[in-house]
Amino acid sequence: MFELKWTIEASKLYKDLEQRAETAYSNRKKRNQLKASKIEGLFKQVYKTINLLKSNPRHPGLNTHEYDSIENPYNPQEKTFEAYVQNNTPGAYRVFWCYGPEQKQITILSITPHP
C-alpha cells in the first residue's frame, strides 16, 4: 500500500468532484430517481482509480504510462505518470501522479479530462 500525497490543485479538483457528486446524489434522491447522474458516475470512477493507485499503481486497468508534459515536482529527472479513469470516452478523465516525496508514497498531481 502506498500513502497518498496531494498537490493543492489535485486536492481541490477531487473535493470539487466529490461535492458535485454528493449534491447530484442528494437531488436525485429527493426526486426519487434511480439512475445516477454523470457526475456521480465520474466521481465513482475517480475514486476507484485513486484506490487502485494506492494499492497497485501497475494495475492493468489503470493503463499507467509515463507522461512527459508534466514535470516531477520533487526531482525533474524522475518520471511522472498518467493513469486512466475512463477510456474511449470524449474528454476521458486521467489522473496524473508521481512517486514520492518519500518511499511508499504517491503524489496525485492532477485530475483532468484528457486534452
Each residue's pLDDT, cut to its tens digit, for the chain (115 residues) gives 999 999 999 999 999 999 999 999 999 999 999 999 999 999 999 999 999 999 999 999 999 999 999 999 999 999 999 999 998 888 899 999 999 999 999 999 999 997 6
Residue 98, H or E segment: strand 93-99
Q: What are the b/e assignments for 44-65, b being 16+ CB within 10 Å?
A: ebbeebbebbeeeeeeeebebe
> What pLDDT does 89 receive?
85
> What pLDDT does 96 receive?
97
> What pLDDT does 88 receive?
85
- Residue ranges per domain, the chain? 3-113
> What pLDDT does 58 receive?
94
pTM of the model: 0.91
**Which CATH number applies to 3-113?**
3.30.2310.20
